[in-house]
């Protein structure tokens, strides 16, 4: 089976130029045939889901550990369409391809740090958690991390992921200087903004549909310490949450919202920055940029244990135990950035139908849409077990990149909730009419017409994608469902 979980990083060797640890994938010689030709990696049949769970889809999986293996696997794919897969942390069907060939890229794990240049070159299968661990001892950190450390470099680029600091750091892709892309014809392209910037832009946020990312060179930031100074504010209205998020100062901003309480909205806003100076030295003892998992939800967890009543009680406790107002509370970078990673396999809490995460963004000035969505959700029979609000800075030039300047709201709801599809279709209309969009990394249900209305640069992306993959060999269930990739006529 393809791995779904972290794997211990093999072979740690000192880097030639600096006291950084190099992460090496365990690489034996690639298997060859008696004639010396490289054999493609073994294929296995498997049934996979997205991170949100739900129905399993039948696929063929080949795990590749080198560019040579990858090229052989692509050459031997025959008539099958293909898609790359990282840690499978996209919630929906972005890394699924029913009856297609899934290229598990998590074997491409190596790291070559260049501390002088403040960059790191990494294989696409390295996870951001592994990178953070390798970089911290030499005082570097990734400029952008999502809400989980268990995503690969390839997945982070293909979804052009964002963190809580989008306003100051942009997306992950915006911090990629160079990447290597293997196309369906077996060509290995090296893309930079100067060298085929169009193909780079189409690959960043391109959901794996331009080819397989093999490696990337990523700009780093200085890590003053693994500790953050966190300001905390409790809020009782959406407007207040937006106002606190908008306060100048701290770079990492996020609001947790309770949508099950008596008020329409209440929540806790945190704004965090790296600790510097004397406080950094004090905090340095024991601080970590990653987080250890403390508990694992077992398979076949009874879904009835998660109910609106139970979550409302949990939310009440969380709200009441948060300070009304606190300033400069010390928190570890890892624990603050990746709170959900403390609980392994948490989507199992939702039972066999899993969860849908609906993440929207609307431009500034369209705050009314956020309120409408929340009001309609509260009136519906769909309970929201987790809601998170963040602010975004300016969009970048990647045509399918999700962030635009404005507000993003992510809602976790049970996949089996009655009336869910109709409700989310109605949200799509509101969001698209306001010039907003939904996030493809989280999606498993948006319709093709809605997608076209949300991503105005879709045709430009399709034209570049067609140049890179004229035979449309790359596809995914997401791409087929939404018409991102139309069948060859």
Ligand X SMILES: Cc1cc2nc3c(=O)[nH]c(=O)nc-3n(C[C@H](O)[C@H](O)[C@H](O)COP(=O)(O)OP(=O)(O)OC[C@H]3O[C@@H](n4cnc5c(N)ncnc54)[C@H](O)[C@@H]3O)c2cc1C
User: Does the footprint of ligand X cover residue 159 (CB under 6 A)?
Assistant: yes
Q: Which of 232, 255, 252, 8 is nearest to 146 (CA)?
A: 252
Structure-block tokens of residue 159: 């979804």
Residue among 2, 88, 205, 415 that touches ligand X (CB under 6 A): 88
Residue among 85, 234, 253, 266 that touches ligand X (CB under 6 A): 85
User: Does the footprint of ligand X cover residue 349 (CB under 6 A)?
Assistant: no
C-beta of 172: minimal distance to ligand X in Å? Answer: 8
CA distance 297 to 5: 13
User: Does the footprint of ligand X cover residue 94 (CB under 6 A)?
Assistant: yes
**CB closer to ligand X, 208 vs 287:** 208
Instruction: Give the helix/strand (H/E) hosting 312.
Output: helix 308-321
Q: Determine the interface stretch with ligand X among 6-14, 88-96, 216-224, 268-276 (rule: CB under 6 A).
A: 88-96
User: Cβ(137)–Cβ(181) under 8 Å?
Assistant: no
Residue among 21, 121, 162, 252 that touches ligand X (CB under 6 A): 162
User: Does the footprint of ligand X cover residue 464 (CB under 6 A)?
Assistant: no
Binding mask 466-485 for ligand X (x = CB under 6 A): ----------x---------
Binding mask 427-456 for ligand X (x = CB under 6 A): --------------x---------------
The neighbouring-strand residues paired with 13 are: 22
> Residue 472, class by beta-carbon neighbours within 10 Å (0-12 exposed, 13-18 middle, 19+ buried)?
middle
Residue among 112, 184, 212, 413 that touches ligand X (CB under 6 A): 212
The neighbouring-strand residues paired with 32 are: 38
Instruction: Give the helix/strand (H/E) hosting 56.
Output: strand 53-63
Residue among 2, 41, 54, 86 that touches ligand X (CB under 6 A): 86
Q: Determine the interface stretch with ligand X among 189-197, 205-213, 316-324, 369-377 (rule: CB under 6 A).
A: 205-213
User: Does the footprint of ligand X cover residue 362 (CB under 6 A)?
Assistant: no
In 64-175 the beta strands, taken as DSSP E runs, fall at 82-85, 101-104, 111-114, 119-123, 140-141
Structure-block tokens of residue 179: 């990447």
Helix/strand/coil percentages in the chain, nearest 5: 30, 30, 45
Instruction: Give the helix/strand (H/E) hosting 392.
Output: strand 386-392
C-beta of 337: minimal distance to ligand X in Å? Answer: 9
Binding residues vs ligand X (CB under 6 A): 51, 83-90, 94-95, 105, 124, 146-148, 151-152, 154-156, 158-159, 161-162, 207-208, 212-213, 340, 441, 476
């Amino acid at each position: 089976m393809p791995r779904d979980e972290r794997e211990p990083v093999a072979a740690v060797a000192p880097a030639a130029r600096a006291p950084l640890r190099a992460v090496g994938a365990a690489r034996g010689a690639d298997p060859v045939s008696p004639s010396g030709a490289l054999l493609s990696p073994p294929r296995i049949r498997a049934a996979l889901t997205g991170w949100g769970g739900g129905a399993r889809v039948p696929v063929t999986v080949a795990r590749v550990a080198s560019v040579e293996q990858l090229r052989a696997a692509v050459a031997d794919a025959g008539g099958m369409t293909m898609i790359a897969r990282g840690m499978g942390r996209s919630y929906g069907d972005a890394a699924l391809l029913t009856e297609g060939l899934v290229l598990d890229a998590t074997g491409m794990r190596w790291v070559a740090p260049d501390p002088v240049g403040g960059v790191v070159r990494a294989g696409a299968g390295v996870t951001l958690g592994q990178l953070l661990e390798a970089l911290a001892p030499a005082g570097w950190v990734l400029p952008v991390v999502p809400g989980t450390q268990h995503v690969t470099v390839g997945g982070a680029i293909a979804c052009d992921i964002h963190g809580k600091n989008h306003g100051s750091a942009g997306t992950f892709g915006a911090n990629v200087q160079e990447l290597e892309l293997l196309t369906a014809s077996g060509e290995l392209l090296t893309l930079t903004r100067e060298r085929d910037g169009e193909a780079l832009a189409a690959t960043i946020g391109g959901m794996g549909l331009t080819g397989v990312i093999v490696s990337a060179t990523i700009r780093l930031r200085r890590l003053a310490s693994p500790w953050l100074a966190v300001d905390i504010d409790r809020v009782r209205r959406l407007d207040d949450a937006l106002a606190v998020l908008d306060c100048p100062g701290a770079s990492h901003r996020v609001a947790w919202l309770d949508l099950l309480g008596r008020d329409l909205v209440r929540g806790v806003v945190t704004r965090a920055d790296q600790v510097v100076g004397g406080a950094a030295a004090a905090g340095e003892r024991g601080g970590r940029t990653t987080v250890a998992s403390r508990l694992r939800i077992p398979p076949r967890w009874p879904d009835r244990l998660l109910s609106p009543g139970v979550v409302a009680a949990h939310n009440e406790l969380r709200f009441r135990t948060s300070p009304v107002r606190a300033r400069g509370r010390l928190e570890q970078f890892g624990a603050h950035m990746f709170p959900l990673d403390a609980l392994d396999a948490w989507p199992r809490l939702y039972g066999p139908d899993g969860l849908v995460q609906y993440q929207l963004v609307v431009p500034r000035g369209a705050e009314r849409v956020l309120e409408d969505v929340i009001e309609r959700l509260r009136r519906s029979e769909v309970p929201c077990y987790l809601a998170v609000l963040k602010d975004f800075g300016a969009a970048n030039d990647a045509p399918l990149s999700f962030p635009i300047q404005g507000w993003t709201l992510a809602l976790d709801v049970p996949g089996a909730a009655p009336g869910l599809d109709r409700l989310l279709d109605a949200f799509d209309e509101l969001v698209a009419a306001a010039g907003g969009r939904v996030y493809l990394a989280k999606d498993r249900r948006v319709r093709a017409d809605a997608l076209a209305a949300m991503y105005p640069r879709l045709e430009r992306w399709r034209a570049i994608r067609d140049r890179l993959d004229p035979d449309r060999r790359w596809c995914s269930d997401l791409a087929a469902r939404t018409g991102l990739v139309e069948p060859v006529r």
